[in-house]
Amino acid sequence: MNDISKPILIIEDEPGLLEAVRLKLTKEGFPVLGCTTAEEAEELMAKTEPSLLWLDLFLPGIPGIEFLQKLRADEKWKKLPVIVVSNSGSPEKIRQSRELGVETYFVKADWKLEEIIDVVRTILSSNKK
Amino acid sequence: MPIPSISRGIIYVSMFLHFYAVAEVAVAGVGAFLQSPFVSLIVAVLNGFLAFAVLTRNPRAILNRVYAFAALSIFWWAACEYMSRSSFAPQQALVWERMGSFGYILAPLIQLWFALYFVGIKRVLRIALGSFFTIMSVGAIAFVWFSDLVVAQMTKFPWGYLSVPGPLFPYLLSLFALQAGVAILLYLQFMTVTKERSKRAQALLLFLGVVVPVTIGFYTDGILPLIHQGAYFELGSLTTTLNILLIAWAMVRFGFLGVGIEIAAPFVLATLADAVFVLGDERKIVYVNRAAQKLASAEESALFNSNIKEFLPELPDHAFTSFFKQESYLMDAEGHRIPVMVLSQRIADLATGTRGNVITVQDLSEIKELQEREFHARSDAEALHRGAALIEAAAEGIFSVDMDFKINLWNKAMENLTGIPSDQIVGKDVSWGMDVTDRSQKTIFLKEQVFQKVMDTKKAVSISFLDGYFLLNKENKKVAVAVTASPLYHDNGKMFGVVAVVSDETKEFEADRTKSEFVSIASHQLRTPISTMKWFSELLMAGDAGPLATQQQEFMKEIYAGIGRMADLVTMLLNVSRIEQDKLAVAPEPTDIAQLIHKIGEELRFDVSKRGLTLEVQVKEKLPIVNVDPRLMRFVIENLMTNAMRYTPTRGTITVSAAKSREFIEVNVADTGMGIPQQEQEKVFQKFFRATNAKDSVPEGTGLGLFIAKYAVEVSGGKIWFLSRQGKGTVFSFTIPLAGSKAKEGLKQLS
């Protein structure tokens, strides 16, 4: 089973997509926390430790990559599993994400929601061990 | 030639003496002086001199010659008469008398000849009449010499020996009378017919010169001796010379038989290169030189007495009254119009009383032709100059090469584009001119790819930035260009070179980029709602909002499929826009093509079997590892194989093969599918193009796959082509350079 206390934190600026992901993850039995901006995420993370970060890169305010850089600079979050779920296929972004220790980089248009969630499940179960 | 003053003087003296003699006779009857032989001597001397004067005045004129001859015969007659009259014995006198017969018989004959020539009677008639009387005269001379039928004997008179007429003497007189009669008739006829005043006056003089002495002489030398035997009067011989005198007077007064204008003309004007027309009264042509005859294409006889206006119709009236010079035209006898320069000069010589015009005509046709040719040459040169100026001023770069690929024209715009001044490039091989790179960033061989192709196909060849061709300018920066090379032909259809027009298409390139930017922005924006629709559809279909009825599930499948197609299209559009903005990266790395092909084959195996198709992967030998961008290669192979699958009906076969040649790896994807219709084949690689049979049978398909695949192949340094027959199948082939691809910086990759 999953650790209920540690939710998956979703940072996605499109509310519709955020809803869909939250719905599905909840259905699958995962605790979910969602927000639409990096700033909100910071606030949430000050209060709760997430088990995984589901990060969109195109965010209003602080962009995803920058947020990630800040995150990794913090000792506390150095080892936090992060998946990037973005619409950008830019090699530059992919490279940067890889450098910042991202588990997987998903281009939204190419993946079914279920498939991404499968990968999430794998990551979390392997982490638990 | 004017009469020398001495001859003039002598003529005057002679005239005076003669008239004195006549007057003496008239007043004092037969005087001793008159009866002396000295009169004859004087007559002889004076006539001799007259002959000399007339002949030297114009030795070539026939009239002068005849006149001189007549004067000479009278000279002879008078001289012989002197000798005869002053003889000491009758036999001596007879001899001299007979000698004199040449004179007094020939003189009237010659005067008849003069008349025949003067009136200008037809040659045949002149010869007939002249010959007849000549024969008669010769016969008369014979009778004088060899008989005493004409001159019976010589009788001594106080004033010397004189002849006694014989029985045939009257016949001699008749001959003289007949000759005189003919001469009189000729002059009379001439006077009535001729319209020229001066000629008429001359004819009148001559007429009088015949009539008077003939009448008087006839009476005194003919009738009187017959009536009064032995009486002899000198009047006859005197009056015979009256004709001569009158002519002499006319010569002095009117220049008759002298260098009158129509007689002098031949010497001066005959050999002139310009045509000369001499006009007498009423603008009639009295003389034309050889050049004039040639110009007017007519003989002298046809021109003589014609009105000058027949040939120079444009001459105004004032051309005849004063000096006139003007360009005009001449109508020749054949009706041709000849451009000419006309100079007209009025001639009026009071001394000789001659009046007329001398018209010089210069043929301008050659000059006109030269002028026209010069004009044409000048306008040709101007046109050429204009053409050259046009080429120099053109905004597009224009250059041309000859059949050996040597540059022979390089305009200012080319200088600006390439930084090479024309004097440095003209004469050099075309490869030195421009550096053009293709998609794979390699400099292309302009000579082979463009110019040789033009020469071989005899058709224009174009390359442009739309196909990825860029010019490297003087700063080595890429400039979007369109180059069109066309064959150059002579008038006779022979190719003599190739002309290339290079236009800077930077503006068009920028516009294209702007369009592509727009497309990419829009496509990006589309991705978010598409993702939303896709994921919620997935949730619905997974039953996360509650179970779906069968039909609801079916409808959802349709919706999901549609969304999928939209997503594909957006992805493709993004790729295309990346290509067009030149933002696509090429990141070569060592790639195993054989492995890639197998891998893709595996991935697609499920779909292949689902469609009931057979997939064969034939990779013959071990392929070398090449430095190419694997993402690009994957795209191409995937695209070709997906196409093959899509357009081949069940039970068909797809064959993928790869083989190594000297410089490339060649990959072939063959199918037994529907093929591409012949007339649509040239559009296959165009954006959004789908063949009609493809569209009819397979609804999905963006028409962008091959466009992107072609780009991917070319930017990697290869070539892509296909062979297809409708209903039979298609084989697509592409090459991968063993030398690998050149890396290219780019912000994006193919997705």
Output the six-digit token pair for B64: 């002068």
Q: Are the beta carbons of B528 and A109 separated by less than 8 Å?
A: no
3 state SS of B735: strand
At the fourth CATH level, which superfamily is domain B396-503?
Answer: PAS domain (3.30.450.20)
Test the B interface: residue of A59, A85, A108 with most B CBs within 10 Å: A108
Do B524 and A87 touch, CB atoms closer than 8 A?
yes
Domain boundaries B264-368, corresponding CATH code: 3.30.450.20
Q: Which of A87-91, B66-70, B492-496 has the lowest mean pLDDT?
A: A87-91
Structural domain count, chain A: 1
Is A84 among the domain residues? yes
Domain B396-503 in the same topology as domain B264-368: yes
Test the B interface: residue of A12, A18, A24, A93 with most B CBs within 10 Å: A24
Q: Are the beta carbons of A113 and B539 separated by less than 8 Å?
A: yes
**Which residue range(s) make up the domain with A92?**
10-16+43-124
Nearest to B295 by CA among B262, B334, B346, B269: B334
Distance of CA B46 to the CA centre of its chain: 68
Question: Each residue of B535-555: pLDDT tens digit?
Answer: 899 989 988 888 999 999 999
Test the A interface: residue of B521, B530, B539, B569 with most A CBs within 10 Å: B539
Question: Each residue of A71-105: pLDDT tens digit?
Answer: 888 888 888 899 999 888 777 888 889 888 888 99
Question: Each residue of B511-523: pLDDT tens digit?
Answer: 888 888 888 888 8
B317 or B56: which leads in pLDDT: B317
Checking if the pLDDT of B696 tops 70, the result is: yes
* The pLDDT value given to residue B263: 47
> What is the pLDDT confidence band of residue A33, given thresholds at 50, 70 and 90?
very high
> What integer best gives the mean pLDDT of chain B?
82
Tell me the chain A residues in contact with residue B531 when contact means C-beta distances shorter than 8 Å: 14, 17, 87, 108-109
* The pLDDT value given to residue B731: 95
Is A76 among the domain residues? yes
Is A58 among the domain residues? yes
Is A85 among the domain residues? yes
Q: Which residues of A touch B (CB under 8 A)?
A: 14, 16-17, 20-21, 23-24, 27, 87, 89-92, 107-110, 112-114
B266 or B652: which leads in pLDDT: B652
CA-based Rg of chain A, rounded to a whole angstrom? Answer: 13
Give dist(CA A120, CA A118) in Å, integer: 5
Q: Are the beta carbons of B527 and A17 separated by less than 8 Å?
A: no
Do B579 and B711 touch, CB atoms closer than 8 A?
yes
> What is the pLDDT confidence band of residue B463, given thresholds at 50, 70 and 90?
confident
Give dist(CA A92, CA A95) in Å, integer: 5
H/E run at residue A31: none
* Furthest-apart CA atoms within chain A: distance in Å: 37
Is A82 among the domain residues? yes
* The pLDDT value given to residue B499: 93
Domain CATH number, residue A91: 3.40.50.2300
Closest chain B residue to A114, measured at CA: B538
Q: Would you list the domain boundaries of chain B?
A: 5-254, 264-368, 396-503, 510-580, 589-737
| Beta-carbon pairs below 8 A across chains A and B | 59
Closest chain B residue to A14, measured at CA: B528
The CB density around residue A32, as the number of other CB atoms within 10 Å, is: 18
Q: Are the beta carbons of A110 and B570 separated by less than 8 Å?
A: no
Fold classification of B5-254 is Rhopdopsin 7-helix transmembrane proteins (1.20.1070)
Amino acid at residue number B269: L
Give dist(CA B737, CA B718) in Å, integer: 6
Is A111 among the domain residues? yes
Checking if the pLDDT of B160 tops 50, the result is: yes
Question: Each residue of B580-631: pLDDT tens digit?
Answer: 777 788 889 999 999 999 999 999 998 898 899 999 998 867 889 999 999 8
pLDDT > 90: what percent of chain B?
A: 20
Q: Which of A10-14, B16-20, B111-115, B179-183 has the lowest mean pLDDT?
A: B16-20
Give dist(CA B602, CA B637) in Å, integer: 13
Class for the domain spanning B589-737 = alpha beta
Is A34 among the domain residues? no
Q: Are the beta carbons of A17 and B535 separated by less than 8 Å?
A: yes
Do A87 and B527 touch, CB atoms closer than 8 A?
yes
Is A33 among the domain residues? no
* Strands annotated E in chain A: 8-11, 32-35, 52-55, 82-86, 104-107
> Between A14, A21, A114, which is nearest B528 by CB?
A14
Amino acid at residue number B579: I
